[in-house]
Structure 1
Amino acid sequence: MTRMALEKPPNTREQKIGALADQCVQCGLCLPTCPTYGLDGSEAESPRGRIAIAAALARGDAEPTEALRLHLDHCLGCLNCERVCPANVKYGELLVETRALIGPIKHRPRGLLTLLKQPTLLRLAARLGGSAGMARWRQRLAARLPADSPWRAALQTLPDAAAAVRPTPAQETPSPDAVTVALFPGCVASIEDADAEEAAMTLMRAAGYRVVRLPAFCCGAIDLHGGEMDAAEALAERAKETWKASRATHLVTVTPGCLGTLRRALPNVAVDDAASLVASRIGQLRFRPLARRVALHLPCTQVNVARNEGALQTLLRAIPELDLQVVPRAPYCCGAAGTHMLEFPERAARLRETTLAQIATVAPQQLLSSNIGCRLHLAAGMDAEGRHWPHMHPLSLLARQLEISP
């Protein structure tokens, strides 16, 4: 019997983009879920429109002019479209490959992004800023910069003080056959969300896991989504080497924004959000009551990448007397989207207004959000609007309410 020759897989970036784009059936179900389509009402600012642009660029039917590529650069990478796509188009992969094809945007704030990717430099800058009293003058300095300046957005987003790291309470002694989990700290999160990382280790150890903390460095998401493929691949190799040296069986992070990039770098590794592992052993944990009304903001990466919003809510509802209110999730991202809030601050602020209005509808005493970029971005908007909701990572609240066995 004669066998049909199998179709050859795409072996160039252009062919890969073309194959991914061909999966789109142009049904338009993605349009109502797209934040930028809602913002502009333009087909070119929708997933369907961007897929058409990517296909044209890959075929050589269009040139990556500034005006054309701006539609691709505006994409937040929220992946709302992937959740509703009947054809299972891998839109996130298509976007990454297309940005790699055309390269980074001309006015990318490289100096600022280099600072954010280097925890040592970021920590030093925070110390110098604290010594210089930056909390008193940063808003005045920001106001002197152009409205579309990445540095203005960064100054407005910085917290007034670094998050206080809670000492880890008495640790559980894992059994000899305990599962070993490696915690990936990341870059910005390793400084601004250090409290959440300590909380994650406390919760996982209390649940019976053996936990090791990896060195802090960037996962590569900033470069991967910015078209800097060589730099992203170098960081992916570092992640592989660091993971191998850990001898762990699971890799976790407290920042859902790192998950997709880590899974891409380590496709055969169990990479997850720390909340998922803790929730799987919730029967081993007890929490003290807390009579407080909290708003839970679910970042796009929590819903569309980690896909564990249910596990997170289960954990929080285990705190007696806690009044948990999930923020109504319109089909809009808060606008943070990694570096989007720095590269397109005015657009990001418009999206943030909608999210803050949604949070206000539940009248919270406190705001919880698991993505450090989202939380800092929302906090900057709260400051500008005179709102005063204390905010933290959900795992930080859980660790503070955890009952530790003597």
Structure 2
Amino acid sequence: MTRLGYGEEMRRWRVEKYRKLVRLLDTRSGHDIQDILAGSKAEGLTCYLESDWDMLNVVKGVLCVEAGINLHTIPDDIDVFRMDTSVYPGHCRLLQERRAHTRFRQILNSLCDNGYGDVLLSSSLFLDEISALLTLSEVADHERAGPSIPGTVKGVMHVDRVPALRCHCPIILQRWTARTRHWPSPVIVQKVVSLGAYLTPVGFKGSDYKHMEWRMCFNTGETELVNNLNSTQTQVYVMLKMILKDVLKPCKKEVTSYVIKNIVLWQAENNPQHNFYKRSFLYWLHDGLRDLKTAIVTQHLSYYMIPERNLMAASGLQDKQQRKWVADITDMMDEGPRVILRLQRIRQAVIASPEPMLWFSKIRMELEMLALQTALNRFGQCSDAHYAIMQEIERRQVEIIMEVAQRMCIDGCAVNDLEDIFYRILM
């Protein structure tokens, strides 16, 4: 796993660099939207061009609150909506509680009268309105998927932008805090609480009123939780995601990597931390597969932050596919340690000659470090020193790619596009 770029040191390095990069990007994105990195990039678990860049685009000047919150503690220039949670668990409707002196145009255009004197904020209208605001010239947008606005930069970097509103829900977080647990520590629990929550514009799939509903999420808190998993837990998480992607291969997101994340978080909370050590990796991988199988059979998995919400509800999983996945997972569990050889990348790392594998691992990590440093310099302050650093980075990148190209030629591979080699190494 370390050779493939999932070692603890590389993971921590990524987390730090991605945080710096998003802070720089956020300073350039304008005053109305705050950019927050989420998902596997924020967790340091994917290479520069591997997987999507998940961005939460939080509208400033708007706050959604649980019932009973004292509005006098909220500044007058904040648009306040009250959460009506009498819908499917983990979701809510938003009723206008107090208008700000100046209002975000996209918010104003998304308001609806429910016919009973209440003004509600429509999630579907809001998503339509905000989509235009998040359109960027350098990003080729794709068809919307749920609350996300997918796009591609330069044809190789995939981004998923999800608009959101900030949410203040101390009662919900208190219920999460009060659980008896082995993990995380009280200090991390309090930090997760301090990071708060967000609402994204998507209702429950099975609801007749989903166009008016919003989903609660805890992206920054969940990132903090994943970043506090130990190396064994992290590697179980990565391996389970590989199995989902490479073996089960869901076509319509019937099971997602988010389901895997919740399985691992429950696993960590319910078991003593000292049980997760290097030699126990295969035991916990087997345990995770069993939990995934149970979730598929029962069509139920409790959301880690709000257990009343079923992550498998309305998944669209058909009987035939369900039976196949159950059979596949049963076979994998029966295989024991050999199950990891089902994964192409793992199999290549295991059977490859040590010298070429170590060489490729080294140059891939160096190229990723250079690529991230390039991005940091590009959005940082311009100076002669930065220009000199950029030149040196570019020189080293070309040197590495030429070395790879020469090695490919020796091995009988046709090399036509050096830029393509660069992108393929970082995917």
Q: Give the structure-1-normalised TM-score.
A: 0.25
Name the structure with the higher strand share. Answer: 2
- Bigger Rg, which one: 2
